[in-house]
C-alpha cells in the first residue's frame, strides 16, 4: 500500500507557530513520525508540504493511479478551498483528513471543512498521533 501525505499551508512552521495549540514538535519531527508510523504498519509513504493551493492541487492530481490513499491536512485551505475538494473528487482516491488541533472547538470559521465533504474519515485533535490513526485506518480497510 502506498500513501501520500499532503500537509498544507503553514505546517512548515510547526514548533514556531502557536506551540500552545500545535505543540513544540517541528515539521521535520512530524515527517519522521509519519515515516516511522508507516514503517511500523508495513506501508509506503510519501510526505509533502506546500503553502500554495496550486501545488496541493497538483500533488493530488499527480497521485492519480500512483497512490492507494491520501492523508491530508490542508491547514487553513481546509476551510476555504473548493479547488482542493474538487481535485480529491476528480482522482477518486480514498482520503483521510487530519488536523493536529480539534477544529470543532476552535473559531467558528474553522468548524467547516470542504475536504470533509469527500474524506472517508476525519481525525482531529490528536496532534501527530492523528497521522498514525489515519495510516492505521488505511491498513485496516
Q: CA 88 from chain center: how many Å?
A: 12
Q: For the beta carbon of residue 64, count every other beta carbon within 10 angstroms.
A: 12
- Does residue 114 carry a catalytic annotation? no
Q: Find the catalytic residue in 27, 79, 99, 131.
A: 99
How far, in Å, CA of 110 to CA of 78, rounded?
A: 8
Instruction: Identify the sign of the CA torsion 37, 42, 43, 45.
Output: positive
- Does residue 79 carry a catalytic annotation? no
Question: Which residues are marked as active site?
Answer: 22, 99
Amino acid at each position: 500500500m502506498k500513501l501520500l501525505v499532503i500537509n498544507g499551508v503553514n505546517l512548515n512552521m510547526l514548533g514556531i507557530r502557536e506551540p500552545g495549540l500545535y505543540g513544540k514538535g517541528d515539521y521535520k519531527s512530524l515527517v519522521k513520525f509519519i515515516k516511522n508510523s508507516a514503517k511500523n504498519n508495513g506501508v509506503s509513504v510519501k510526505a509533502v508540504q506546500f503553502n500554495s493551493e496550486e501545488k496541493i492541487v497538483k500533488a493530488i492530481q499527480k497521485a492519480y493511479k500512483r497512490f492507494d490513499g491520501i492523508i491530508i491536512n490542508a491547514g487553513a485551505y481546509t476551510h476555504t478551498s473548493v479547488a482542493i475538494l474538487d481535485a480529491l473528487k476528480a482522482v477518486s482516491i480514498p482520503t483521510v483528513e487530519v488536523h493536529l488541533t480539534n477544529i470543532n472547538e476552535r473559531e467558528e470559521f474553522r468548524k467547516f471543512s470542504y475536504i470533509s465533504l469527500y474524506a472517508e474519515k476525519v481525525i482531529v485533535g490528536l496532534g501527530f498521533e492523528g497521522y498514525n490513526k489515519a495510516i492505521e485506518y488505511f491498513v485496516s480497510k
